[in-house]
Amino acid sequence: MKVVFDPEQKRHYPRHFLVNGVVEANPEVPERADRLLAAAQQAGLEHVVPADHGLAPISAVHTPEYIAFLSTIHERWLRIEGGSDEVVPGIHPDRRDGAYPLSAVAQAGYHMADGACPIAAGSWAAIKRSADAAAEAALMVREGTAWAYALSRPPGHHAFADMAGGFCYVNNSGVAVQMLRGRHERVAILDVDVHHGNGTQGMFYRRPDILTVSIHADPVRFYPFFWGHADERGAGAGLGYNYNLPLPRGTDDEAYMPALAAARRRIEAFAPGALVVALGLDAYKDDPQGGFAITTDGFGRIGEMIGRFGLPTVLVQEGGYLCDGLGANLTHFLQGFGASHTL
């Protein structure tokens, strides 16, 4: 099996982000990709570099207005006299259905949900190649490969159709889903990141052809706060096609497994042709995010259970930050998944 990654993705390296009113060092660093690539190879996956898929996979799930913003904003931002080297919003609109501003400062506030998605000099090139990795892995699976792992960095599940947030810019899991829709009438997304995939939910909330399932820390006091609650079930034609499983902070292996079993039952009821797993590793007990208490062996068990779903699967990397267990967590997940996955 393959791990899809381009070293160009490491060009995204904003040095800081805003959290709790404090400017801190950005934890979403290029070294994450190095460790995850080594861990995937340790699990026996072959590294391949994705082809250039152009903008079509991104534009299938994001607005042209937003893509134009992402691809030009850093250059425009640098023209601001006395401005910072990185794009960080300082103002946000109280509504999003009014006139579209021309100002770079105003557009940053419109298209960036928070201070945790700064844009630096190499960001767009890396964002584009991260989406290419997801598209390539999905294309492999669409054409008959049983499963593939997209080492998408920067991650994507907090990105809405026209808004970045939480270290995410292009929704790589969404890119993979839409690519798989080229063959399958129904595709399911299972998000196991410790944070709710609010961008993914928002992207598919009204669609009955995409089932979105997320297991995450209860957002009542955890990012992204405003999304991810159990009563969010979809809307319009998509009512009943969104399933959130918020769990208490500190959830460990044993408490996590019943939620994963519930997710499996819902996915089986949907009868999808393929599955996308938004693979966050930040549920780890020693991850800096401090949400859950999943062990390295627990990630192996989670991978094994998901592999038993028996679906063509694209694994798309989401969170998981620098700590001693990061690489081992991915290796264990991939080994557990690969050992149990059958079509």
Pairing of strands 22-25, 46-48: unpaired
pLDDT of residue 342: 86
Quickly state the pLDDT bin for 229 (edges 50, 70, 90).
very high
Catalytic: which of 74, 158, 195, 341? 158
Among 79-93, 149-163, 236-250, which is the least confidently predicted range? 79-93
Position 203 pLDDT exceeds 80: yes
Question: Over the stretch 119-129, which tens digit does the pLDDT of each residue have?
Answer: 999 999 999 99
Quickly state the pLDDT bin for 85 (edges 50, 70, 90).
very high
**CATH class of residue range 2-12+26-56+128-340:** alpha beta
Average pLDDT on 167-185 reads 98
Q: What is the mean pLDDT of the chain?
A: 97
pTM of the model: 0.97
**CA angle 303–305–309, rounded 5-degree value:** 110
**CA angle 24–200–224, rounded 5-degree value:** 40
Question: Over the stretch 326-339, which tens digit does the pLDDT of each residue have?
Answer: 999 999 999 999 99
pLDDT of residue 120: 98
Question: Over the stretch 304-321, which tens digit does the pLDDT of each residue have?
Answer: 999 999 999 999 999 999
- Distance CA(320)–CA(201), nearest Å, equals 20
Question: Domain spans of the chain?
Answer: 2-12+26-56+128-340
Question: Over the stretch 288-307, which tens digit does the pLDDT of each residue have?
Answer: 999 999 999 999 999 999 99
How many residues are recorded in the chain? 343
Position 19 pLDDT exceeds 90: no
Establish whether 158 is a catalytic residue: yes
pLDDT of residue 65: 98
Ramachandran assignment for 271, one of left (phi > 0), alpha (psi -120 to 50 degrees), beta (any other): left
Position 343 pLDDT exceeds 90: no
